[in-house]
Structure 1
Amino acid sequence: MTSLVTSEPGRARSGPEVGERLLTSSSSAALHIAGASLEDGSIGRVGLELEAHCFDLQDPQRRPGWSELADVIATVGPLPGGSAVTVEPGGAVELSGPPADGAVPAIAALAADRETLRSAFAEAGLGLALLGADPLRRPHRVNPGARYQAMEQFFTASDTGRAGAAMMTSTASIQVNLDAGPRDGWADRVRLAHALGPTMIAIAANSPLLAGEFTGWVSTRQRVWSQLDSARCGPVLGASGDDPGTDWARYALKAPVMLVHTPEVVAVTEHVPFADWADGLVLLGGRRPTITDLDYHLTTLFPPVRPRRWLEIRYLDSVPDELLPAVVFLMVTLLDDPVAAELAAEAVEPVATAWDLAARIGLKDDRLYKAANRCVAVAAERAPAELSEAMQRLVQSVEDGRCPADDFADQAIRSGIDDAVLQMARPTT
């Protein structure tokens, strides 16, 4: 049976265990972080994680509860593509696929798993909609995990309670995980992963509404994330970007500690950079941190590109099924194909830092429009036959200066938000 996972990274623990190594300084912490940031090796493997908002097909304003979601997931056997099923704080359902050898098999496995899961939810009268932000319901947590209770308290204490609640319970993405590649190429690879961000956000933007209101942004998901502390959610890239491991260590040590095990999970409601805890300037839970505390701290950092031995590309809105294969193939090709990567780096250089602009107006900006058309053209030339239809649809959309958010907004205006959501959430077969 597919088990219900609460999507709480890290293992359960009750304070330092016997023999567990304490950190003696921020310098030792930095060495640990940098050493585990990226893994030297080849490229080619692709892992995908897809989040979908769950709606009642009879009453889309209602948010299904935790036990209701658990009951549905309990009916699902092993998924054909091997994905794990988790539930996000607001009840969004996530598929996390195993690494596959290339974009095409990863896409195929995820599609099979999504169809199986979608059928199970449909039998229970529920639908799974691929949107970057919940367009109907106000933020509300249904996942009872202690981690998320503590996160709520942390965000409230840091004056980002509203954005934190929206981030946890009202946003959804398609995450693309890629090999770090050979060590001598890390710097260029990480720089390109960041530089592609604004252009890819403009292409994939799919969240024009939040909680029943048009926000004026094509990617409200990106807007919400940008309202959180940049020390935790901003880009990792350092001044030069020449040493990604050191950049990640510096970022992680500067970021404030979100929660600590005492033995319960407790929010840290004062601003305490991890470096201060590691150096003994502050004791949390009456103690110094351990390596386990440091590893857990890394799971509470949410930059748009996160190193976890591999690269997590975290800045894409969840996009409709008909465009999903093309968006994934585009992302993978622009990073993993060396010729495409070189062409993409040149194309996106003028808009490499235009994160907010991309999220606000997307392809309406002339520079983003030009970069996006160049990037999709490069990928389309390399698309295999089985992805040609989805890729051509994406090419046409970008040429028209449109993103998925435009289509959803048009539908919401024509027939109302409820109906637009139901059209997306209902099974097509």
Structure 2
Amino acid sequence: MDVVIPTDLNTPEVLRELSDAEGYLAKICFKTGPPLLSGVELEWTVHDRDNPAAPVDPNRLRQALGPHAPSTLDPVGPRSPLPGKGTVSVEPGGQVEISSAPHRSLRELCEHTSADVDRLTGLLTTAGLVLGDSGIDPYRPPRPALDTPRYRAMRTAFDRRGPAGRTMMYSTAGLQICVDAGTSERFGARWDAVHALGPPLLAAFATARHHAGTDTGWASARMAAWFAIDPPRTRPAWTPVRAGLDPVGVWTAYALAAPLLCVRRPDGDWLVPAGITFRDWIGGALPEPPTADDLEYHLSTLFPPVRPRGYLELRFLDAQPPGEWIAPVGVLAALLGDDTALGLAREACEPVLDRWKAAARFGLADPELARAAAAVLRVALAALDRTDLRPATRDDITTIVQRRLAAADRRTS
């Protein structure tokens, strides 16, 4: 889902004062209005059909994707969109991602994205490749497939804290849902609600337990890796303590206090010394002052479970088994499209607010999270009929969710 930057902010204005950065953040990260658009980003690990533990070959992947290959694989290729207008990107470990176009209709989003998934699956099948079915690679240890200045800087920064960064970069796959921020009157409640829904839905849709041939003991080893790599850039930008605070102020403080991951330079050396925050950069910590464009790029290196990008990007879900991505998308769309349902679901989350790590560690094995997840899913199923999804799609979502509900009920009975 593309960020729309106001035309008066397109030039690389130098940021010399904190107030300049604060004003810029308020303009680009929080665009309020009627919540009309939604989009998805679907990411998968990629495997050889006959030997899923074999490394990803970038050349094989480029040939398989053909005209849809991103510039990181084919710098001179056309980068053609898929039939449903989604675009393909490839992550540093060879994971493939579809980024949908934004849609006003949930039905159209699901149908167009399904067409894109079918096209991608067909291309890979022809090349003897298959998509993974979980949020972390169950077969292979972390291994790079692509190398760019950004990825080198990320690896260097994350290596300072241990191996979790390489696991995240090279082995994980997520499902991201993008939704409008909402009206100025409802935005604060919407921001609060999507954070509150995070732990129960992370627990309900966790798929990332096995990695590199090992049972990690985590329901979502993917989120465990994200939380471990660099807490100032991956922890939630919201807690129950901050629930009554202005989201713009909270996010501004978060973004300016996060350490720099990299600084783009023409020579390809994007490394920066450890511990320098964007606030420090404005204060003169690096030779050249930052620009508004540098700040916008810095925002792309922050990875909280919910990230404001003009819209809200919900980043806390694992990749789902084939054909099942539609279930968490439908659940969240049903809740966010119905204020009454969203209020009921938010109330059900009250006992487990901020239990992100418990959700990643235990999933539905935690009784409190299982109870909250069951309540949220039941509210979502009741609201599903009020969406514009076709009956067959609603039935598919209900079947998948009922299976998750049965797992939650077993933990609470």
Paired position in structure 2 for 1:89: 92
Structure 1 contact 22–288 (Cα < 8 Å) conserved: yes
Structure 1 contact 236–247 (Cα < 8 Å) conserved: yes
Match of 2:270 among 249, 266, 273: 266
Structure 1 contact 35–245 (Cα < 8 Å) conserved: no
Q: CA deviation at 1:335?
A: 2.2
Q: Tell me the amino acid that sits aligned with residue 149 of structure 2.
A: A
Q: CA deviation at 1:167?
A: 0.7
1:277 and 2:272 correspond: no
Stretches of structure 1 that go unaligned for 5 or more consecutive residues are 1-8, 10-18, 404-429
Superposed, 1:232-271 pairs within 5 Å as 232-237=233-238, 239-263=242-266, 264-271=268-275
Structure 2 contact 336–342 (Cα < 8 Å) conserved: yes
Q: Tell me the amino acid that sits aligned with residue 327 of structure 2.
A: A
Paired position in structure 1 for 2:15: 23
Paired position in structure 2 for 1:36: 28
1:50 and 2:42 correspond: yes
In 2, distance between residues paired with 1:192 and 1:308? 17
Paired position in structure 2 for 1:159: 161
1:391 and 2:400 correspond: no
Of 366-375 and 131-140, the range deviating more from structure 2: 366-375
Q: CA deviation at 1:391?
A: 2.5
Paired position in structure 2 for 1:68: 60
Q: CA deviation at 1:309?
A: 0.5
> What's the TM-score, normalizing by structure 2?
0.88
Aligned-residue CA RMSD in angstroms?
Answer: 1.8
1:259 partner SS: coil
Of 52-61 and 97-106, the range deviating more from structure 2: 97-106
Q: 1:102 to 1:152 in 2, by over 3 A?
A: same
Structure 2 contact 335–383 (Cα < 8 Å) conserved: no
Stretches of structure 2 that go unaligned for 5 or more consecutive residues are 4-10, 69-79, 386-390
Paired position in structure 2 for 1:414: none
Give the number of aligned pairs: 381
Structure 1 contact 85–96 (Cα < 8 Å) conserved: yes
Q: Tell me the amino acid that sits aligned with residue 328 of structure 1.
A: V
Of 360-369 and 345-354, the range deviating more from structure 2: 360-369
In 2, distance between residues paired with 1:177 and 1:251? 20
Of 35-44 and 79-88, the range deviating more from structure 2: 35-44
Of 126-135 and 82-91, the range deviating more from structure 2: 126-135
Structure 1 contact 103–332 (Cα < 8 Å) conserved: yes
Structure 1 contact 51–174 (Cα < 8 Å) conserved: yes
Q: Deviations over 1:140-171 (max 9, x none)?
A: 11112221111111112x323x1111111111
In 2, distance between residues paired with 1:23 and 1:78? 36
Q: Tell me the amino acid that sits aligned with residue 185 of structure 1.
A: R
Q: Deviations over 1:13-33 (max 9, x none)?
A: xxxxxx842111222212211
Paired position in structure 2 for 1:148: 151
In 2, distance between residues paired with 1:128 and 1:323? 13
Paired position in structure 2 for 1:304: 305
Q: CA deviation at 1:187?
A: 1.1
1:294 and 2:298 correspond: no
1:159 partner SS: coil
Superposed, 1:24-423 pairs within 5 Å as 24-74=16-66, 78-156=81-159, 158-160=160-162, 162-237=163-238, 239-263=242-266, 264-280=268-284, 282-283=285-286, 286-384=287-385, 385-401=391-407
Q: Tell me the amino acid that sits aligned with residue 154 of structure 1.
A: A
Q: Tell me the amino acid that sits aligned with residue 201 of structure 2.
A: M
Structure 1 contact 153–269 (Cα < 8 Å) conserved: no
Structure 1 contact 231–256 (Cα < 8 Å) conserved: yes
Q: Tell me the amino acid that sits aligned with residue 277 of structure 2.
A: P
Q: Deviations over 1:218-239 (max 9, x none)?
A: 1111111111222100101262
Q: Deviations over 1:336-364 (max 9, x none)?
A: 31111011111111112111111112112
Q: CA deviation at 1:48?
A: 0.6
Q: Deviations over 1:103-162 (max 9, x none)?
A: 322122111111111011100000112310001101011112221111111112x323x1
1:109 partner SS: helix
> What's the TM-score, normalizing by structure 1?
0.85
Q: CA deviation at 1:375?
A: 1.4
In 2, distance between residues paired with 1:261 and 1:177? 27
Paired position in structure 2 for 1:423: none
In 1, distance between residues paired with 2:200 and 2:333? 14
Percent same amino acid at aligned positions? 36
Q: CA deviation at 1:58?
A: 1.8
In 2, distance between residues paired with 1:358 and 1:195? 12
Structure 1 contact 369–398 (Cα < 8 Å) conserved: no
In 1, distance between residues paired with 2:235 and 2:339? 27
Q: CA deviation at 1:402?
A: 5.7
Q: Deviations over 1:392-422 (max 9, x none)?
A: 323322332269xxxxxxxxxxxxxxxxxxx
In 1, distance between residues paired with 2:322 and 2:288? 48
Q: CA deviation at 1:388?
A: 3.1
Structure 1 contact 103–328 (Cα < 8 Å) conserved: no
In 2, distance between residues paired with 1:382 and 1:262? 49
In 2, distance between residues paired with 1:336 and 1:268? 43
Q: Deviations over 1:308-342 (max 9, x none)?
A: 00000000000113432121110122223111101
In 1, distance between residues paired with 2:148 and 2:392? 40
2:185 partner SS: helix
Q: CA deviation at 1:75?
A: 5.2
